[in-house]
Amino acid sequence: MGDCKYCEQPAGFLRSMHKDCDSKFQKGRSDIVSATLSAIRDNGDFAILKGRISAVSNQSFVGMSEQHKLLISAWEQAVDTFLEDGVLDETEETRLVQCKNYFLLNDVDLDKNGYLTKTAKAGALRDLLEGKIPKRVSVDGGVALNLQKNEQIIWAFPNTEYLEDKTKRHYVGRSHGVSVRIMKGLYYRTSAFKGHPVEHTERVSMGTGMLVLTNKHVYFHGPLKSFRIPYAKIVSFEPYSNGIGITKDAPNAKTQTFVNGDGWFIYNVLANVNNL
């Protein structure tokens, strides 16, 4: 005879819960997420929300640990709701911060699925659109870059793979004609070798390092190569889902590609940095 994991009363042979208890639990979870999402979105009073969460939890067997998880889930859903239009306005960001602070939600939990980083990136783009240099990122241990006077970091991406386009050439064709033996081991071929060069481009990894976007340059610092590209020298961007390709204004310039999983954000920073 097993006990119900919710009410701790006998649940029956080989059973771990009562159906009614489980239904209450599931409904309570849903109500807490819904109430929290509404409070964040509709400028609700978080003190009133806290009381509602407590009342629902007492009636539906939702413990403190589960309440915390549900608050995180609701916070993430609020971020998704606010970013449906691609922009996080100042009021929306303020509500997210207020909820975070009131319920003492820590950064590690909020960024477990990358949502805290999403809000920081969205806020950084809003700053750029308003002509302000974002101050939303800090680099642990500093950055081994020689920044110029009045140059400020907008965003830094560790673990970025850098790739270069390399052109390779080989010749294709065939020779024909009659070979006449002149002496042992030496032949004279009467016809010339007929062929033509063929080129193909390969994208070659040059290692993984730190990509840094500032208000003046694109920097890359890696084990094999380190360099900076002034924005004025960039003639085109090639956005990808997981990175971006940059082509400089130079003779025979080839695309330099940076892969870090967030091509959308990089492209939008580079497209709007001129607002500064």
pLDDT confidence of residue 141 = 62
What is the sign, positive or negative, of the torsion defined by CA atoms of 203, 206, 207, 213?
negative
Say which residues have a Cβ less than 8 Å from residue 223's Cβ, sequence separation at least 6: 207, 208, 209
- Residues 108-147 have pLDDT tens digits of 999 999 999 999 999 999 999 999 999 888 776 666 788 8
Instruction: List, by residue range, all CATH 2.30.29.30 domains of the chain.
Output: 153-168+202-275
- Residues 222-251 have pLDDT tens digits of 999 999 999 999 999 999 999 999 999 988
Token duo for residue 170: 């080989």
Say which residues have a Cβ less than 8 Å from residue 172's Cβ, sequence separation at least 6: 195, 196, 198
Q: Is the pLDDT of residue 201 over 80?
A: no
Residue type (1 letter), 241: S
Q: What is the pTM of this model?
A: 0.79
For residue 226, how many C-alpha atoms fall within 13 Å in the half-sphere facing its CB?
9
| Strand-strand pairing, 153-175 and 10-12 | unpaired
The architecture that CATH gives domain 153-168+202-275 is: Roll (2.30)
